[in-house]
Structure 1
Amino acid sequence: MTSETILSIEPFQVPVNPDGTFKCFGQGTSGTVTRAIDSRTGNYIALKAIPVQLREQDRENVIQQLQNLYSCQHPCVTEFLGCAFYPARSSILIACEYMDLKSFKDMMTLGGAFPEEVVGYASSRLLDALVYLHRERKMIHRDIKPSNLLMNSKGQVKICDFGMSTQLANTLDPAHTWVGSTTYMSPERISGLQYVWNSDIWSLGISLAEVATGTFPYSDPGRRLELVELLDRIVDEDPPTLPETFSPEFRDFVSQMLVKRAEQRPHAEMLIGHPFVVLHGNADISQWLQQAATAMTSQSPST
C-alpha cells in the first residue's frame, strides 16, 4: 500500500482516490466497502462507509447503538472492530474483519454456481450463526442475501450486516438505512406482517438456491421482472424448487426452508440436523477454495 494515497482515520489507514473518496472494494445497498489496514495489528480490515444525515447531538448515541448491536462473539459472525462518525464524508464507518473471498455474490459472479457440497458445508455454519443470533442475541437478521454471506480462503463462513433495519431506523437517513432486500424477503414480510425468527430461513433458502443454480429462483428467462410482479409471485405462487439434477437431500432441505407459511417453516436449530447439512457439514472443500482464491486474486485491487 506504499504507493497509495492513504487517509489516516485512527486507528485505520484507508486508501483513497485522488478526489478523497474511499476506494470501493464492494458496493451494497447502504454504502461502500473499502479494504483498509488496522494500524494496531497491520492486518487488513473491511471498512464500510454508510452515508448518513445525523445531528451532532445524535452521533454519540448512534455509535453506541452500533457498538452494542455488533458486539457479537461467534465464529460464524463477522468480528466487529470498531465504528466512528467521519464528518468529512458525513458517513458512519464500521470496521469488521476482512474476508478475502468476499461474499457469496462475488464468488458466484467470478466462478459461477457453487458445488452442492460447498453449499452444504456453508449451510452448516450459516445455520449455526442464525441459532446464535436468534437464540442468544434475540436478534433477527432481516437481510440475509448472497452479498451478506462471506467466506475466506481458510474456509470460514460468516454472516455480516445484521439487524440494522430497525435498530437505527429513527436516526439514520431514510434514504440509506438498511431495510432488507425485497427480493429475498419472506412472503409474510411482503404481505406486511411482522418479522419472525424464521423469516431469515426463507431468505437463506432463496440465497442458497441462487448460489447452487447460479440464477435467482424467481428469474424469468428472456425478460426482466418488474418489482411489483416479483413480489406478487413470491406471495401468490408456489415456492421455488430445485431442479432434479440436485440430490434429494438438497432439494428437501431447500423445500423446507421455502415453506410459505411462517408457522410451518422450521427454525434454524431444527435444520442443523437435516441430512443434507449432516452429509456435507465437514466436507473437504479445499480444492474449491483454492480455485476461488485464484479467481479472486486476479480481480483484487492493488491495495
Structure 2
Amino acid sequence: MGNLCETNETQKMTSVQMPSKQQQEETMGQSSEMNLHFSSQQEQARKKLSIDDFEMLNQLGKGAFGKVYKVKKKDNSKIYALKAMNKKQIFDSNLEQNAVIEKEVLNNSKHPFIVHLKYSFQSKTKLYFVMEYIDGGEFYQILQRTQGLPEPVVQFVAAEVILALEYLNMKLKIIYRDLKPENLLLTKSGHVKLTDFGLATKRKESNIKSYTLVGTTEYLAPEIIRKDGHSFEVDLWTLGILIYEMIAGKTPFSHPERNQMKIQYLILKNNPVYPPTMSRDAKDLINSLLQTNPQLRLGANGYDSIKNHSYFSKINWQDLYELKVKSPLKTFAEENSNRLQNLKPLQTQIKETPVNTPIPQLNDVSFSGNEMERNSSFKYY
C-alpha cells in the first residue's frame, strides 16, 4: 500500500460533475457491500486460531522442544509447516524470551532467504508457529549424501546464507547463534531458507555482550566457550565452520564420539587442517572467519568485506537477492520435493495433553497472519 501524500494539485479547486440520485444509491450499495466484506475479514482475523483449524498431513522433523508438521489449513486448503512446541519444556529451560524473539524474527523478516511466519498461537500446553512450507527439504541431506560439495555450489549456498545473516545481524539486530546445515531448508527451486530461531537473541548496544552458553558444540565460537561474552561475531565464526563443512564434508573441529570437552579444546586450540583439494581462496576465507579474536574476524566491521572477498568474485549479489540466479541445487530440490509428497500420512492428529499444573500463557507470541503483507515485494537495503 502506497503512502498517502499531499501535492500542490490537491490545493487547486477543480470542477466535478455531481452524481445523480441513482448513482449515489448504487455507490452507497457498493460501499455497504465493501464494508460488510471488510467486516467479515476483520472478524476472520479476530477469530482465535487453534490446532483444530489445521489438518496434520506428515511429520517433517523433530527438535528439542517439539515437532514440525506439514499441515493444511482447513478454511483455505493452503499448505504450511507447523512447529508445535512443549510450553512446559520452554519454561523449564527459561527460554520464554527466546520463543518470543523467534516469533518476532519469523514475523518481522521480509527476506527471500529466511522462513516467514504466517500465524502463531498457543494452547494450555503447546506453542504453535505456522510458517511457509518449504518443499525442497533439508540442505543437510545433501551433505550426508555427497560428503562434500563442489566449490561453485558452496559459493552459491554460502552467498545466500551471507545475505540472510547480514539482514539478521545488521537490519533486525538479531544474533542467530544456530547456523548449521540442519537449519538450512531448500525451496523447490533450490534456494536457501534459514529456519529455527529458537536460540536467537537480540543484538545489544556496542560493548554490551550476551553470556549464555548456547549453540551446537562443533559450531561454538571460542568466546562462547570461554564465557567472555559474545555478540553477532559468533555468526561469522559459524559461517566459517559451515563453509568448511560444505567443502570437506565434516566440521574442522570434531571428535568421532562427539566428546564435547575434546571438541571445545580443539576449538580453543584453533588449528584446522585443510583438505589438499580445497582452493586457496576458500582457505583464506575460512581462516579470516575463524579468527579467535572476534574483532579480527572478516565481517566484524561490516559484511561488505565478506562479499568483496575473492572467493565470491563471480557472485552478483543483487541478482542473487532477487532470485535471478539459477540454483545448482535445483534438480536435487525438485527430486526431494517429489519425495516429500509421498511421505506416509499421519494416522492421528495433535491432541492436547491434560495437565495438572496450569502452564502460564506466553505474552506477545500470537499472530493472526496478514497474507497481503506477506505477498509484498522484497526491498534490498
TM-score (norm 2): 0.63
Code of the residue aligned with 1:251 in structure 2: it is: K
* Contact 1:165/1:180, CA 8 A, preserved across alignment: no
SS for the counterpart of 1:24 is: strand
1:80 corresponds in structure 2 to 117
Residue of structure 2 in register with 1:234 after alignment: 267
SS at match of 2:174: coil
1:174 aligned partner = none
Measured in 2, the distance between the counterparts of 1:224 and 1:64 equals 34
The alpha-carbon distance between structure 1 residues 110 and 97, as it changes in their structure 2 partners (threshold 3 A), is farther
> Contact between 2:86 and 2:126, CA under 8 Å: does it hold in 1?
yes
Query: Which segments of 5 or more consecutive residues in structure 1 lack a partner in the other structure?
Result: 1-7, 16-22, 168-176
Q: 1:98 to 1:120 in 2, by over 3 A?
A: same
Larger displacement relative to structure 2 (279-288 or 64-73):
279-288
The Cα offsets for residues 106-140 of structure 1, whole Å up to 9 and x where unpaired, read as 33224543221111111111111111111111111
- 2:55 is matched with which residue? 13
Task: Output the amino acid matched with 2:132.
Answer: E
Counterpart position of 1:93: 128
* Residues 73-110 of structure 1: CA deviation (Å, up to 9, x unaligned): 111111111211133xx221112212222222133224
Post-superposition CA distance 1:15-74 (Å, at most 9, x none): 3xxxxxxx531123343211112345533222112212178xxxx999866543422111
Q: C-alpha displacement at 1:234, in angstroms?
A: 0.6
Residue identity (%): 26
2:104 to 68, 92, 115: 68
Q: Deviations over 1:209-262 (max 9, x none)?
A: 112222222234xx4241111111111232x25323122222222222111210
Match of 1:173 in 2: none
Amino acid paired to 1:12: F
Residue 105 (structure 1) aligns with: 140
Q: Indicate conservation of the 8 Å contact 1:29/1:178, yes or no.
A: no
Identify if the C-alpha distance between structure 1 residues 72 and 85 changes in structure 2 by more than 3 Å, giving closer, same or farther: same
Kept in 1: contact 2:70–2:82 (CA 8 A)? yes
Equivalenced residues, count: 271
Distance in 2, matches of 1:64 and 1:248, equals 42
Structure 1 counterpart of 2:237, one-letter code: W
Matches of 2:229 and 2:129 in 1, distance apart? 28
1:80 partner amino acid = L
Is the CA contact (8 Å cut-off) linking 1:165 and 1:179 kept in structure 2?
no
Code of the residue aligned with 1:235 in structure 2: it is L
What amino acid maps onto 1:68 in structure 2? E
Give the 5 Å matches for 1:267-282.
267=299, 268-280=303-315
Is the contact made by 1:101 and 1:293 (CA closer than 8 Å) also made in structure 2?
A: yes
CA–CA separation in structure 2 for the residues paired with 1:194 and 1:61 = 19
* Aligned-CA RMSD value: 3.0
Give CA-to-partner distance per residue, 1:255-303, whole Å, 9 cap, x none: 2211121010022332122222232556966564213432564465144
Unaligned 5+ segments in structure 2 are: 1-49, 203-211, 346-381
Task: Give the secondary structure class of the aligned counterpart of 2:227.
Answer: coil
User: Which residue number corresponds to residue 216 of structure 2?
Assistant: 181
* AA in 1 matched with 2:261: V
